[in-house]
């Protein structure tokens, strides 16, 4: 069994009396790729700042390799959304700044700028970059730091599909080198590469597990057309429907699933998606027998 490299215990974080994280418990195993999933604004970025040692917990603790995260600054390489790039410098000057700043910065940045197609834009000032180019530059900087743990806050936001696949390949590559990779996202695509997934809702980690375990715990899902939504609402857990491609979906208890199987224009889905998983664990649904 893998040892734990990051341990958040009863972690709470408030800003100006506003509670952002509340009793978060999370263990990150050495060498794993963990996806932390949750809707926007549930506290994922703050959680990552606490894991990186950038923020002191208001209560509880975060340890990295057994020591308080805030006491160690050599263990993580942290991509914080839109915070790394210096707008008035060129891409190359940004890389040079971080290469001087971080003693563990490596020459791998050359490979990453090539992979991300940034080579021709390195002499441009970052203020003239698009959102996607800035994210690629941030990824280049973060990936070029040699650290045992990589924390990526929304690494694929603003990126197109091809680049997302390239990012996933690079994250897997880091994992293959024995590094621990933790990725936050609200995109189900990013869950696809994870060994384990932790779902965050309302400032808490509501569940953590391997994808198969998490899928097994999801109750049956029914789908119907938008025009037939009312009939599904009556049997939906918590009366809550979720949009899907051209229709709506709902979670139902196993019993309801049987009794509604013959409902007109309602289909029971055999193959659930990460979106279903995301909806189930992050929506405020009442407890369901599974």
Partner 1 sequence: MAADTTTSNPVMGNATPAWAWLTQVRAFSERCLREVRNSWTMLSIVIGLPAGMQLLYGQRLEGISGEMIASTAVGTGIFGAMYICLYIFGYQLAGDLEDRRYEAYRSMPIFPSADLSGRMLSGIVLAGSAFILTILAGVYTGASFELRGLMSIPIVFLAFVVTCVFWMVVAMPFILYAQNERVAEYAVPMIAIVGYIATGFNGANTELSPIDGEILNYLPNTLPTRLAIYHLVPGGAESSVLPPVSAVGPEYVALLVGYGVLALAVGTVLLTTVLYRQGWRP
Q: Among the candidate windows 78-86, 156-164, 199-207, 222-230, which touches partner 1 by CB under 8 A?
A: 78-86
Name the strand (E) or helix (H) holding 18.
strand 18-29
Q: Among the candidate windows 142-150, 162-170, 244-252, 256-264, which touches partner 1 by CB under 8 A?
A: 142-150
Work out how close the CB of 34 gets to partner 1 at its nearest, in angstroms, rounded to a whole number. 13
Tell me whether residue 68 or residue 254 sits nearer to partner 1 (CB atom): 68
Which one among 16, 18, 120, 178 touches partner 1, defined by CB under 8 A?
178
Does 2 sit near partner 1 (CB under 8 A)?
A: yes
For 245, residues 6+ apart whose C-beta sits below 8 A from its C-beta are none
Q: How far apart are CA 142 and CA 182, in angstroms?
A: 13
Region 79-98 residues binding partner 1, contact defined as CB under 8 A: 80, 82-84, 86-90, 93, 96-98
Tell me whether residue 134 or residue 168 sits nearer to partner 1 (CB atom): 134
Of 165, 160, 111, nearest to 140 by C-alpha is 111
Total chain residues near partner 1 (CB under 8 A): 44
Q: In what order do the strands lie in the sheet with 18-29?
A: 18-29, 4-15, 59-64, 67-68
Our measurement of the distance from residue 268's CA atom to the centroid of its chain's CA atoms, rounded to an integer in Å, reads: 28
For 253, residues 6+ apart whose C-beta sits below 8 A from its C-beta are 219, 220, 237, 288, 289
Work out how close the CB of 208 gets to partner 1 at its nearest, in angstroms, rounded to a whole number. 19
Q: How far apart are CA 106 and CA 265, in angstroms?
A: 57
Does 3 sit near partner 1 (CB under 8 A)?
A: yes
Does 155 sit near partner 1 (CB under 8 A)?
A: no
SS3 label, residue 9: strand
Does 101 sit near partner 1 (CB under 8 A)?
A: yes
Name residue 37's beta-bridge partners: 185, 199
Does 179 sit near partner 1 (CB under 8 A)?
A: yes
Region 27-56 residues binding partner 1, contact defined as CB under 8 A: 30-31, 49, 52-56
In degrees, rounded to 5, the angle at the alpha carbon of residue 58 between the alpha carbons of residues 54 and 60 is 95
Residues in contact with partner 1 by CB under 8 A are 2-3, 5, 30-31, 49, 52-56, 65, 70, 73-76, 78, 80, 82-84, 86-90, 93, 96-98, 100-104, 125, 146, 148-149, 151, 178-180
């Amino acid at each position: 069994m893998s040892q734990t490299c990051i341990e958040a215990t009863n972690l709470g974080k408030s800003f100006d009396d506003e509670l952002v994280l509340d009793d978060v418990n999370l263990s990150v195993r050495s060498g794993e790729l963990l996806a932390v999933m949750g809707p926007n604004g549930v506290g994922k970025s703050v959680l990552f700042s606490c894991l990186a040692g950038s923020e002191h917990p208001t209560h509880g603790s975060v340890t990295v390799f057994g020591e308080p995260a805030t006491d160690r600054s050599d263990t993580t390489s942290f991509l914080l959304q839109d915070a790394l790039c210096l707008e008035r410098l060129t891409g190359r000057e940004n890389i040079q700044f971080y290469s001087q700043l971080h003693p563990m910065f490596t020459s791998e940045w050359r490979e990453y700028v090539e992979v991300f197609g940034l080579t021709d834009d390195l002499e441009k000032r970052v203020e003239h970059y698009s959102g996607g180019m800035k994210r690629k530059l941030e990824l280049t900087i973060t990936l070029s730091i040699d650290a045992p743990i990589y924390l990526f806050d929304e690494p694929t936001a603003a990126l197109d599909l091809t680049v997302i696949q390239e990012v996933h390949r690079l994250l897997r590559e880091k994992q293959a080198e024995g590094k621990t990779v933790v990725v936050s996202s609200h995109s189900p695509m990013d869950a696809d590469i994870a060994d384990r997934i932790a779902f965050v809702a309302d400032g808490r980690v509501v569940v953590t597990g391997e994808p198969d375990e998490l899928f097994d715990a999801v109750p049956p899902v029914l789908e119907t057309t938008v025009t037939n939504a009312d009939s599904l609402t009556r049997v939906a857990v918590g009366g809550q429907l979720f949009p899907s491609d051209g229709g709506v979906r709902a979670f139902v208890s196993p019993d309801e699933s049987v009794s509604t199987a013959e409902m007109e224009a309602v289909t029971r889905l055999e193959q659930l998606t990460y979106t279903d998983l995301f909806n189930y664990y992050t929506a405020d649904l009442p407890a369901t027998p599974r």
